[in-house]
Amino acid sequence: MLQITTGVIGFCFTLGAVIAIFFLVKGRKSFLIALFLLVITLTWIGRWPGNDWQVANCNVGQGDSMVINLGESGAIVIDAGPDSSLVDRCLSQLGIKHIPLLILTHFHADHVEGVAGIIHRRDVGQVWVSNNAEPVFESTHIRQVLGIRAHIVIAERGLSTTMKSNRGNISLKILWPDSAEHSFDLLPGDGSAINNSSLALLLNAPDFSLFVAGDLEPPAQQQIIDSVGKVDIYKVSHHGSKYQDVGFTERLAPTLSIISVGAGNSYGHPAPQTLALLARLRSTIYRTDISGAIAVTAHEHHFKVRTSTGAWWQKVRLG
């Protein structure tokens, strides 16, 4: 269940294959042809996202965009990132043409500004949004981009649905926000009422469970701690900032933790204490600032993770 890199195995396999070709193939020209074919094969093996991915996290810089594969070019998309071209390219790489459900956790630009890229040459069904429309200029802009025909749903605690995928039914349930008014104390730095109005979503599929909650911080995390339990995959809230409720994270006890974060960002994300907390829980951590885009394949709650950056032998890991 913990990460086992295939780096050494992959390197030894390649070295052995080249040595075998060297001894078995006669003639320099034949050797070069065989070596070329080997390189092409290994490139194909290491391509991103692979054929069998189920959860992908796009590399959109300092922002969020996660994709749940439904099969037949369809997907659930959670957040749009800050850049329309980046999310459009990612969805194209994933082969996504139909989005029956788009979930925008809250209206901060790093989660929604890329919406134009999501709807570019793709059809979108329902759009779930938070009941907090702040900042109003951003939510107004996003509604204009989506157009008057967009089926926008204000998602609150208790909303649920079941969607069909090529691997079985996927259930989704909104755990937060509720319909009550809350006055949370602002955290120093980047804490805000908008962050704590992020949609918190629990997703269960035949082969994995997933928790996503935008930029949710301790005041709201504490409100739903009794509604969560261990999950396979956790899209770490607020790009792995230091504002995490320890008990809440311990309750999730994720096998895989995905942190969507921009390289060299000015916020100090992810925070060392958050990384330490996840490491203490023996969660395998993947970061977009290091690994690029991330694709997860699950089978009976066992995982293979493929990343878009690095040499071919570094791209496929077992989680």
Task: Tell the CATH topology of 55-318.
Answer: Metallo-beta-lactamase; Chain A (3.60.15)
Closest residue by Cα to residue 64 from 99, 103, 95: 103
| 315 vs 285, residue with greater confidence | 285
- The domain limits of the chain are 4-45, 55-318
Q: What is the pLDDT of residue 36?
A: 62
Give the whole-number percent of the chain exceeding pLDDT 90.
75
Helix ranges (H only) for the chain are 7-24, 28-45, 84-94, 109-112, 115-118, 136-146, 218-223, 246-252, 272-280, 288-291, 312-315
pLDDT recorded at residue 2:
36
The pLDDT tens digits for 93-108 are 999 999 999 999 999 9
Residue 1's pLDDT is what? 35
What mean pLDDT value characterizes the chain?
Answer: 88
For position 48, what pLDDT does the model report?
83
* Confidence label for 190 from pLDDT (cuts 50, 70 and 90): low
What is the structure's pLDDT at 181?
Answer: 82
pLDDT tens-digit profile of 233-250?
999 999 999 999 999 999
* pTM across the whole model: 0.86
